[in-house]
Amino acid sequence: PLNIFDKGIAKDAEITAFCDTNPEKIEILKSKTTTNAPYFTDYKEMLDSGLIDVVLVETPHYQHPEIVMECLKRGINVICDKPAGVYTKQVKEMNEMAASSNAVFGMMFNQRTNPMYIKMRELIQSGELGAIRRTNWIITNWFRTQYYYDTGSWRATWAGEGGGVLINQCPHQIDLVSWVIGEQP
């Protein structure tokens, strides 16, 4: 997630706090960053610290609605990685809270920051290629190794992801084809 700062996408942003429930991951993160921002193991303590105006939620899918709603309750702007959640009821509650909140709420589809897809969108939106009449979207190099699934016990489980590859990988492709082409598939 830090690469959005490196690529200039969030060039005016400043990292003011990190949170992870796993102290080992915090130590790894500390070794890869040069910031003096404090680290928290309890996200509610971080939200209550007064150090942040925007939160980027990058947690197991089933935690997304809970954390987003805690941010919204405090009036903290929040960007949530896809998917919005695992259970429709929680996502509906989250969306209702966002609609009545003064805080800004948005979903993050990280592939939109990829320069290749940005360029594709620019070419199509400019009309340089003419009218798009048909699209065939095939991505064959998205392979997840066992290491990926071993990084979290929630990965590739119905309870944790809410649908395995269909929920974890396909939303990127559906979003990209919609965003790049400008039409729903």
For residue 59, pLDDT over 80 is answered with yes
More confident residue, 10 or 176: 176
Residue type at 163? G
For residue 6, pLDDT over 60 is answered with no
Summarised one tens digit per residue, pLDDT across range 80-94 is 998 888 889 999 999
Dihedrals φ, ψ of 112, to 5°? -70, -10
For residue 4, pLDDT over 90 is answered with no
Query: 63 and 136 in contact (C-beta within 8 Å)?
Result: no
Average per-residue pLDDT for the chain: 86
What pLDDT is stored for residue 103 in this prediction? 96
- Starting from the edge strand earliest in sequence, which strands make up the sheet with 77-81, in order? 54-57, 77-81, 105-108
What is the pLDDT averaged over residues 166-174? 77
Summarised one tens digit per residue, pLDDT across range 92-146 is 999 999 999 999 999 988 889 899 999 999 999 999 999 888 888 888 787 788 8
What pLDDT is stored for residue 2 in this prediction? 43
